[in-house]
Amino acid sequence: MPSTMEITNVTEFEEIAKEKLPKMIYDYYASGAEDQWSLKENRNAFSRILFRPRILVDVSEIDLTTTVLGFKISMPIMVAPTAMQKMAHPEGEYATARASAAAGTIMTLSSWATSSVEEVASTGPGIRFFQLYVYKDRNIVIQLVRRAERAGFKAIALTVDTPLLGRREADIKNRFTLPSHLTLKNFESLNLGNLDKTNDSGLAAYVAGQVDRSLNWKDVKWLQTITSLPILVKGVLTAEDTRIAIQSGAAGIIVSNHGARQLDYVPATIMALEEVVKAAQGRLPVFLDGGVRRGTDVFKALALGASGVFIGRPVVFSLAADGEAGVRKALEILRDEFELTMALSGCRSLKEITRDHVMTEWDRPRVSPRL
């Protein structure tokens, strides 16, 4: 097992996390739905996209900065919402918040965090988004959104792919539940902070009991009546839903299959990205999460039209491996790899990354063969 000092890529954090964490916790973070085809495909699909690098470009200065919803960040790599981070490390979301701020990027806090919006805000300055699950009791939603606003969160990432929890067989086998010393901090005062022990996944039972499966596009409009924060719709995979998201007033879209934890046999997000980008017609930014493990993956997503990417599991595994320092290291590795990919592709800024810098299986041949 490599020590965190010897780590050279973010994938290596996973084996350290696997050694350190109890099986129930590692399995919860690592697994996908059912056959886990989409879980593997999220990674494999990136490997089928190849580069068309441009050479002899002066790349002595490279600018990775970008703006997301008007906020300037150091790189187009942001932290996705992942639940219950104190299962990975005692400092949990506090450590992730500090590491994200140190990297100059955005952290998205999960509704199901083991630290509250107020606690995360108390770590100091930083641009943070709040991921929202809509509960059956809408007063809970209103309270939660208000608390996120008051704590200085800058946007709501509304998860739209989870009317019910996907079938994650490891969680069923392990009878997954939150360790007894932890709670879902945002819901503690509402007496909804604990998962019950069940013969199934404790989280699946909790979702079935609390999360509103009647959630629909009207609720996206309703959300805009209770908050002035911009709303990112997280979990869009089709052109049809992209068009409705625009009509419904979304400020952005996150192309996501929930880390392949919901519906199995959906395409890899990098495969769904271009369809969504084309349907968006530049009217709102499109982001991607799912399977990003290398700087080359970040570049591929941007070349196919993403405005940025969010990373989930690498954050949780690096957190488990070495707390705040681990997450800092993971973000730094991805940043350095991405910068190198830009240099070797002949791009000095994000706007110079174009569709012509990559080739995919569905591209037309560029040169007609001589007869």
Q: Which residues are catalytic?
A: 258
Cα-to-chain-centroid distance, residue 319: 15
Contact 131, 109 (CB under 8 A): yes
**3-state DSSP: the chain helix, strand, coil percent, rounded to 5?**
45, 15, 40
State the sign of the Cα–Cα–Cα–Cα dihedral 55, 57, 59, 65. Answer: negative
Q: Measured between alpha carbons, how far is 130 from 107 in angstroms, rounded to an integer?
A: 8
Q: Measured between alpha carbons, how far is 277 from 290 in angstroms, rounded to an integer?
A: 16
Beta-strand pair 308-311/71-73: unpaired
Residue 179 DSSP SS3? coil
Give residue 74's region: left, alpha or beta (phi > 0; psi -120 to 50).
alpha
Task: State the DSSP code for 304.
Answer: T
Q: Measured between alpha carbons, how far is 129 from 155 in angstroms, rounded to an integer?
A: 5
Nearest by Cα to 303 from 240, 357, 360: 357
Q: Measured between alpha carbons, how far is 15 from 174 in angstroms, rounded to an integer?
A: 20
State the sign of the Cα–Cα–Cα–Cα dihedral 105, 244, 281, 294. Answer: positive
